Amino acid sequence: MTTDVSIVRCESYEIDLVRRAVEESIELIGGVERFVKRGERLLLKPNMLAAKEVSAAVTTNPAIVRAVAEIVKDAGGIPVIGDSPGMGSALKVGKKCGIFEVAEELAIEFTPLSTPVDVEASEGAIFKRLEIAKEALEVDGIINLPKFKTHAQMFLTMGVKNIFGCVPGKRKLQWHFSAGIDSTHFAGMILDLYLYLRPRLTIMDAIISLEGNGPMSGDPRQTNFIAASPEAIALDRVMIELVGRKVAEVPIIQNAEWRGIKAAKLENIKIRGAGIDDFWIKDFKVPPTLHTNFANSLPNFLEKRLRKSITSRPQIKQSQCTKCGLCIKVCPLDIINRIEGSIYINHTDCIRCFCCQEMCPWKAIDIKEGWLKKILPGL
């Protein structure tokens, strides 16, 4: 059996155009009746990473959220908009990026995903127990609304990663801490969370995507489409193809492949609407690949020792740093310090979670390739 992924052209965030494109993307994968039943309360989960202007392309565009909320309402469902931003309150982020205004105008509930509850993970999960926002569990289903962006640690952030926003605020740092320097381990944890919450529909905002130093400091790039699928793993797999990258570079999808999840394989995906060739994103600027297939070619003990020399690391651009101190607050290991007024990272203990790079509001943290990877680029 194949999993459907639809791709529909949409070249601007003009409200009517977006509504038509979203409708078509849903129609191509079974129609709204497949995903919305009368009277159901459905959480619309956009990417609300941080309080940024819409033009920064860091958050899901409000036009997408509006279109989906209207479609759910028209089908008799009750949409609720919610997220747990990486930094700052959901309300503050929602107001800045225009999503709160959509909730107000359509008179729908806006709920921060902020109350942690402890749940037992599915069998085989890395964490035996997961802490998830109660608000994400108390709905009848989730409609996932990611933004297509690059991500220092996960290489690309797409449908599966967007569900990490259902872990309340600071609890996210604990996940990074538990995963340590192993991005594969962290990817596995995110996949566990996704499989537990299992959104029924994912609609990706790729009208303007974010390339380069994502997920917050990248450059907006017009990519002109909306993609949808009942299975975010399949949608993410198609996006990897669209930017001409390899599954081995995207730890979440690689992990899904390792687990034998069929939707992670292109041969099990049916693309509807446009084809991959119609939306090929040429030379999409990506961060340096973090993880390698080193473990397959070297003994475990050696691989562990060399990991830090291979893995890219965060680097503060002192000339751009405003000394705001936000990175100090978000570092799960407390290893960023202010010394004589300047900000420094203790790289020896750094686990390369890139929370600091993700949250720096001034684009002052770069990703520097590991020295060993630089001299041995084939790794």
Give the interface with ligand SF4 as residue ranges (CB under 6 A): 314, 316, 321-327, 331, 333, 335-336, 343, 345, 350-356, 360, 362, 364-365
Cite the beta strand spans of 137-237 per DSSP E. Answer: 141-145, 147-151, 155-157, 201-211, 219-229
Between vectors from CA 320 to CA 84 and to CA 212, what angle results, nearest 5°? 60
CB of 307 to ligand SF4, least distance (A): 14
- How far CA 272 is from CA of 5, 41, 174, 183, 323, in Å, comes to 6, 28, 39, 32, 48
Q: Which CB atom, from 145 or from 355, has the smaller least distance to ligand SF4? A: 355
* Cis peptide bond prior to 215, omega within 30° of 0: yes
Distance separating alpha carbons of residues 226 and 10, to the nearest angstrom = 7
**Six-digit token pair at 65?**
């959220």
CB of 242 to ligand SF4, least distance (A): 28
CB of 189 to ligand SF4, least distance (A): 15
CB of 340 to ligand SF4, least distance (A): 14
Q: Which CB atom, from 294 or from 362, has the smaller least distance to ligand SF4? A: 362
- How far CA 120 is from CA of 127, 176, 271, 378, in Å, comes to 9, 19, 35, 41
Amino acid (1-letter code) at residue 39: G
DSSP run (H or E) holding 301: helix 300-310
Q: Are 50 and 15 in contact (CB under 8 A)?
A: no
3-state DSSP call for residue 327? Answer: helix
CB of 348 to ligand SF4, least distance (A): 10
CB of 64 to ligand SF4, least distance (A): 28
**162: Cβ–Cβ under 8 A, 6 or more apart, which residues?**
45, 47, 144, 145, 146, 147, 202, 232
Encode burial over 97-114: b for 16+ CB neighbours within 10 A, e otherwise. bbbbebbeeeebebbbbb
Q: Are 378 and 293 in contact (CB under 8 A)?
A: no
Q: Which CB atom, from 29 or from 365, has the smaller least distance to ligand SF4? A: 365
Q: Which CB atom, from 65 or from 350, has the smaller least distance to ligand SF4? A: 350
Q: Which CB atom, from 209 or from 311, has the smaller least distance to ligand SF4? A: 311
Q: Are 5 and 234 in contact (CB under 8 A)?
A: yes
What is the DSSP code (8-state) at residue 243?
T
Q: Which CB atom, from 204 or from 331, has the smaller least distance to ligand SF4? A: 331
Q: Which CB atom, from 206 or from 336, has the smaller least distance to ligand SF4? A: 336
Q: Which CB atom, from 169 or from 230, has the smaller least distance to ligand SF4? A: 169
CB of 244 to ligand SF4, least distance (A): 28
Distance separating alpha carbons of residues 294 and 272, to the nearest angstrom = 36
CB of 50 to ligand SF4, least distance (A): 11
Q: Which CB atom, from 233 or from 345, has the smaller least distance to ligand SF4? A: 345
CB of 323 to ligand SF4, least distance (A): 5
